[in-house]
Amino acid sequence: MPHKIDTVVFPVAGLGTRFLPATKAVPKEMLPVVDKPLIQWAVEEAAAAGCKRFVFVTAPEKDAIMKHFSDAPHYQDVLEARGKTQELALLKAGLPQDAEIIKTYQEQPLGLGHAIWCAHEATGDKAFAVILPDDMVQHPTGCLAQMAAQYQTCGGNLVAVENVPADQTHRYGVLDPGAEADGLVAVKGLVEKPAPEDAPSTLAIIGRYILAPDIMRTLSAFKKGAGGEIQITDAMAALIGQVPMNGFRFQGTRFDCGNRDGFLEANLAFAIAAAGDEERAALKQRLRPLLD
């Protein structure tokens, strides 16, 4: 039976401490890459993968995220009165027309696993996708669309993976990989944030998941892991042997926008990709002396 995904969860209740003071009043997920906030890039990626239900796990003090996807009547009236049709279209861009929006709160930032569990009423007994907006992937076919196509045949728990430098494993969930075929890596085990000497490989999970509904039962044990947080990696590890568990080597370049360097690189890469030939040449000319 094909496994189709129509629900996506965005865990966006974290503190964003690595971007202080920028994130004191503005949620990290609202920081723009070129001209769109991270969360809008994520929503567009999910829509392109066929998702229709968008679940935001947010925090009371981060309501700017929901505001971004709501109507803005005052702004709209002014733009209409001034005949600014292009700007009006940009104001309305965001969510697809037929989208169902669900908001739920994670009252305390107890970890990514806990944030995902907070969406359990919305996800019910169906498999669902998870996008962490601060991980961006640049490719003509969005990372989640690539995964959703693969998921039709593999089902279970599927995570996007890539090789990271050996000295960076402590920042990721890392795979103990089994057999590999056509970009799909069977998972024998998972370790959250291992030190390089303890890491079973350098194949790390990035912020894209498609999860079997069973994950919610496992998460509801609220077991703390690395850093005292409830980790999604531990919940997936507990299900190995009960549901299929695979890593997916996606196509594209990934940017970790949760740290300053990755965020800066993403801004450059997406700006360059959006530029025409002339604009790109001018940009290169202006940037070169800054980098020398």
Residue ranges binding ligand UTP (CB under 6 A): 11-18, 28-29, 57, 106, 109-112, 114-115, 132-134, 258
Nearer to ligand UTP, 79 or 206 (CB): 206
Q: How far is the CB of 12 from ligand UTP (least distance, A)?
A: 5
Shortest spacing between CB 162 and ligand UTP, in angstroms: 17
Shortest Cβ 221–ligand UTP spacing (Å): 17
Rg over alpha carbons for the chain, rounded to the nearest Å, is 20
Nearer to ligand UTP, 104 or 141 (CB): 104
Amino acid (1-letter code) at residue 107: E
The nearer residue to ligand UTP, 57 or 236, going by C-beta atoms, is: 57
Residues contacting 280, CB < 8 A, separation 6+: 272
Smallest distance, ligand UTP to C-beta of residue 37, A:
12
The token duo for 278 is 């002339």
CB-wise, 18 or 126, nearer to ligand UTP? 18
Shortest Cβ 9–ligand UTP spacing (Å): 10
Specify the 3-state DSSP secondary structure of 132: coil
Residue type, 240: I
**Residue nearest ligand UTP by beta-carbon distance:** 14
Q: Which of 100, 107 has the CB closer to ligand UTP? A: 107
CB burial string 146-168: b at 16+ within 10 A, e below: bbbebbeebbbbbbbbbebeeee
- Dihedral pair phi/psi, residue 212, rounded to 5°: -70, 150
Smallest distance from the beta carbon of 132 to ligand UTP, in angstroms? 4
**How is residue 61 annotated by DSSP?**
G
The 3-state secondary structure of 22-43 reads CCCCCCHHHCEECCEEHHHHHH
18 vs 170, beta carbon nearer ligand UTP: 18
Instruction: Tell me whether residue 134 or residue 177 sits nearer to ligand UTP (CB atom).
Output: 134
- Name the minimum Å distance from CB 54 to ligand UTP: 14
Cis peptide before 21 (omega within 30 of 0): yes
DSSP state of 45: H
| 44, 93 Cβ separation under 8 angstroms | no
Tokens of 86: 């292009």
